[in-house]
Amino acid sequence: MSTKCEVRYASHPDDVKKYNTQELRKHFLVENLFEAGEVKMAYSMVDRMVAGGAVPLEKSIELVPASIFKTGFFTSRRELGLVNIGGEGIVLVDDKEYLLKYKEALYIGKGDKKIIFKSITPATPAKFYFNSVPAHMAYPDKLITRKDAIVIELGKQEECNRRILNKLIVTETAQTCQLQLGMTELLPGSVWNTMPAHTHERRMEVYFYFEVPVGQAVCHFMGQPEETRHIWLNNEQAVISPVWSIHSACATSNYTFIWGMGGENADYTDMNPTPTPELR
């Protein structure tokens, strides 16, 4: 089995101002991460972030590096964080098995040579969404269940952004080199996330949207605060967010998204907010 991998190059904000809709989608939208029995991924040159998906069926599937990695195994020089958004599944890391239920996460440190994905029930397969960034140290693997997450309620119903923030792989739950990952669940009646919008110039981010109901869509806002752009997404699609870009969204229904961050800074609260009336 070969890994299906596409490469995305970095873009300067001055260039992005000239992009049309098709060009924005080509450079920043990741449309098809899940294919039955396969591993698919997008390799971004922004902080070398990888966003990927794996759907094991009757046969288990192994996470192997694509040719661009130039390594013998995936975590040779990388760390990995993943969340199961499907049926119950198992991740075999070298000689240890981790059972992941729905919306549970696993951190895998640098140096683990074999990573294998399995589904407990192939008829309702596991769906593993993952982010990976370069790592300089080997830290212990760690399972983060729903009860292990740091849970914070944010927003207001009258502002349509009441949401539950689940910090899954952060400095308080797992030691990492640079990867930070969490999940935000919007409550019924709320459609806006991450408001007021912000940037953080020492780390980039990928937003992965799921639990978007059939027939509904998400409008993701990006770009510099003074000159924003938007991309429409469907269920189980992702957007690459460079350091200079805001990352916020509004949808036609409530939804859930996973945020994964990589870069120099691991302080979750270190950001540059833009007051909503100043967005352009």
Q: Say how far apart CA 223 and CA 103 lie, in whole Å.
A: 29
Q: Say how far apart CA 83 and CA 141 lie, in whole Å.
A: 14
The pLDDT value recorded for residue 266 is: 78
Q: Where are the domains of the chain?
A: 4-278
The pLDDT value recorded for residue 1 is: 58
Is the pLDDT at 83 greater than 70? The verdict is: yes
Is 18 exposed, middle or buried (CB count within 10 Å of its CB: 0-12, 13-18, 19+)?
exposed
Which residues sit opposite 220 in a β-bridge?
Answer: 231, 249
The pLDDT value recorded for residue 267 is: 76
The pLDDT value recorded for residue 265 is: 80
Tell me what percent of the residues of the chain surpass a pLDDT of 90.
95
* pLDDT tens per residue across span 178-227: 999 999 999 999 999 998 899 998 999 999 999 999 999 999 999 999 99
Token pair of 164, please? Answer: 């539950």
Q: What is the mean pLDDT of residues 234-261?
A: 98
Q: What is the mean pLDDT of residues 74-101?
A: 98
Predicted TM-score (pTM) above 0.85:
yes
Structural domain 4-278, CATH architecture: Sandwich (2.60)
- Alpha helix stretches (DSSP H) within the chain: 13-16, 21-28
Q: Say how far apart CA 3 and CA 274 lie, in whole Å.
A: 39
Q: What is the mean pLDDT of the chain?
A: 96
Is the pLDDT at 141 greater than 70? The verdict is: yes
The pLDDT value recorded for residue 203 is: 92
